[in-house]
């Protein structure tokens, strides 16, 4: 008889949430993590970057305070102290996860896991001692790592770091070149620009943050005053910290002290026996169905390793879906949860935030969906003006289906965007139409009221 009900490989957002859910349902759970609980998100992703960014916000607000009647002199930042605060936050949250797992009876094992096949997982501890554990259900949540493209001059180049390396910097670079204008690149660019670094972002595509609406991305770029964006530029090679790239009008170079490689992340598909066990995969991730089942019976996969949506909150949801399926006994329960990707909100953090959920205008057009759209500057919000001035960048855009009136997408650039977007996700997830959504009461004074205003801007009965 198997010693555990469920074995989970990986203690990141997908893994530890699944463990909590199962523990709360009195399942006997083994959670195997080779590094630190919390995964990329807590240790080298969401949380440490947001902690540093918060410090940067305080710094910027102090510098810009005079406009609002606050005078400071000798304002400066202490990078080491910022890093120390970051460390404290991460450590305390990590301890919080460990305490929660313990409270819920989840057994956490610090070891490297290997899937031996259906129902069997080997755990090898730091001294190399291996034990085999069995369970009728296994959840794979091995996550992802920063991708390192084979750009000439990258290998063994001490001036090139990935996001993990950048978080460990001992000092702030004077000049930073970011290769890749995705979420990670833009966030770090914003952080270091706020701290006074001279930042250049080199992006191969014509616009930053590929999943942003093409009308909104420029608003975000304009908000990031200290950052130079080189769009449509292909990096050719690195020479030390000099990034040579091909622009539309010829070759160019970005001189920097440090280069951040932020071209994306790739799922961790190797080193834990996936291929040997016979799991179906593509280079983009493990193949899973809408209930997070892999091709192997009794093996589920959640989070970045599926390559479906590399976001911590997607991993949380995937964990819930997998757990629901496991608790249903693997049967075809009609009410079983299904993973849906149509209303996964995203957020880009910075002094100015961006967030969105649902379709962009470009996606809707590509699908041939007739749309209604309305965009408003966030200046329609009294609170936004009071807190950001009248010249600040900020906009909201709402899209709806022209025929049915159903909301298709909500996109926001500006303060609090990340905090308000869940509400839009709820509207879209419920397939509310414009008329339905207009009945929802928004609090005042808030920035999110701009979404309500935009709903009324749509030309719809």
Annotation marks residue 133 as catalytic:
no
Site string for another protein, 382-411 (x = CB under 8 A): -------------------x--xxx-----
Q: How far apart are CA 455 and CA 435, in angstroms?
A: 9
- Residue 432 lies near another protein (rule: CB under 8 A): yes
Report in angstroms how near the CB of residue 330 gets to another protein at its nearest. 7
**Selected binder of another protein within 1, 129, 332, 391 (CB under 8 A):** 332
- Residue 335 lies near another protein (rule: CB under 8 A): yes
Cα–Cα–Cα angle for 110, 115, 118, nearest 5°? Answer: 130
Q: How far apart are CA 286 and CA 295, in angstroms?
A: 9
Nearer to another protein, 184 or 286 (CB): 286
- Residue 431 lies near another protein (rule: CB under 8 A): yes
Q: Is the peptide bond before 229 cis (omega within 30 degrees of 0)?
A: no
Q: Which stretch binds another protein (CB under 8 A): 37-45, 49-57, 101-109, 328-336?
A: 328-336
Q: Which residues pair with 261 in a beta bridge?
A: 179
Q: How far apart are CA 308 and CA 319, in angstroms?
A: 13
**Selected binder of another protein within 114, 293, 308, 452 (CB under 8 A):** 293
**Selected binder of another protein within 107, 429, 453, 457 (CB under 8 A):** 429
Question: For residue 399, what are the contacts with CB-CB under 8 A and spacing of at least 6?
Answer: 358, 359, 360, 361, 364, 371, 372, 373, 407, 408, 409, 410, 411
Q: Max Cα separation, the chain?
A: 70
Nearer to another protein, 102 or 340 (CB): 340
Question: For residue 84, what are the contacts with CB-CB under 8 A and spacing of at least 6?
Answer: none
Q: Computed from CA positions of residues 18, 24, 26, 32, in that sequence, does the dihedral angle turn out positive or negative?
A: positive
Report in angstroms how near the CB of residue 20 gets to another protein at its nearest. 21
Site string for another protein, 24-43 (x = CB under 8 A): --------------------
Alpha helices in 34-182 (DSSP H): 39-44, 46-63, 79-103, 163-167
**Selected binder of another protein within 214, 237, 338, 444 (CB under 8 A):** 338
Q: How many residues bind another protein (CB under 8 A)?
A: 20
Q: By CB under 8 A, what part of segment 434-453 binds another protein?
A: 436
Q: Which of 58, 61, 133, 444 is catalytic?
A: 444
Closest Cα partner for 353 from 415, 409, 424, 410? Answer: 415
- Residue 363 lies near another protein (rule: CB under 8 A): no
Residues that bind another protein (CB under 8 A): 290, 293, 297, 330-332, 334-335, 338, 340, 401, 404-406, 429-433, 436
């Amino acid at each position: 008889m198997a010693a555990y009900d469920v074995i989970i490989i990986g203690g990141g957002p997908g893994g530890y949430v699944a463990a909590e859910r199962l523990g709360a349902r009195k399942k006997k759970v083994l959670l195997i993590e080779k590094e630190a609980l919390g995964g990329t998100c807590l240790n080298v992703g969401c949380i440490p970057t947001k902690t540093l960014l918060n410090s940067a916000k305080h710094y910027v607000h102090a510098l810009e305070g005079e406009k609002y009647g606050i005078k400071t002199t000798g304002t400066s930042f202490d990078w080491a102290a910022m890093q120390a605060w970051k460390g404290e936050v991460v450590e305390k949250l990590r301890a919080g996860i460990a305490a929660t797992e313990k409270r819920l009876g989840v057994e956490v094992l610090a070891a490297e896991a290997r899937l031996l096949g259906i129902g069997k997982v080997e755990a090898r501890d730091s001294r190399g001692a291996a034990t085999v554990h069995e369970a009728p259900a296994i959840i794979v949540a091995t996550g992802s790592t920063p991708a390192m493209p084979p750009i000439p001059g990258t290998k063994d180049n001490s001036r090139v770091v990935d996001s993990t390396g950048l978080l460990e910097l001992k000092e702030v670079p004077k000049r930073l070149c970011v290769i890749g204008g995705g979420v990670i690149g833009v966030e770090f660019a914003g952080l270091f620009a706020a701290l006074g670094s001279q930042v250049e972002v080199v992006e191969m595509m014509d616009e930053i943050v590929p999943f942003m609406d093409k009308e909104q991305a420029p608003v975000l770029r304009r908000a990031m005053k200290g950052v130079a964006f080189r769009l449509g530029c292909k990096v050719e090679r690195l020479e030390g910290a000099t990034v040579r790239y091909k622009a539309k009008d010829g070759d160019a170079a970005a001189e920097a002290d440090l280069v951040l490689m932020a071209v994306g992340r790739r799922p961790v598909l190797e080193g834990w026996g996936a291929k040997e066990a016979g799991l179906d995969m593509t280079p983009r991730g493990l193949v899973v169905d809408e209930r997070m089942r892999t091709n192997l019976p009794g093996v589920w996969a959640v989070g970045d390793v599926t390559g479906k949506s590399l976001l911590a909150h997607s991993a949380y949801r995937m964990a819930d879906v997998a757990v629901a399926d496991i608790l249903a006994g693997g049967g075809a329960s009609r009410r079983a949860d299904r993973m849906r990707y149509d209303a996964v909100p995203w957020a880009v953090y910075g002094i100015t935030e961006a967030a969105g959920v649902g379709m962009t205008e470009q996606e809707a057009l590509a699908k041939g969906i007739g749309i209604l759209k309305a965009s408003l500057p966030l200046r329609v919000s009294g609170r936004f003006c009071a807190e950001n001035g009248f010249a600040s960048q900020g906009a909201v855009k709402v899209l709806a289906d022209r025929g049915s009136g159903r909301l298709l997408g909500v996109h926001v650039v500006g303060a609090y965007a990340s905090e308000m977007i869940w509400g839009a996700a709820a509207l879209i997830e419920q397939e509310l139409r414009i008329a339905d959504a207009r009945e929802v009461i928004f609090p005042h004074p808030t920035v999110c009221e701009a979404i309500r205003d935009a709903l009324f801007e749509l030309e719809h009965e």
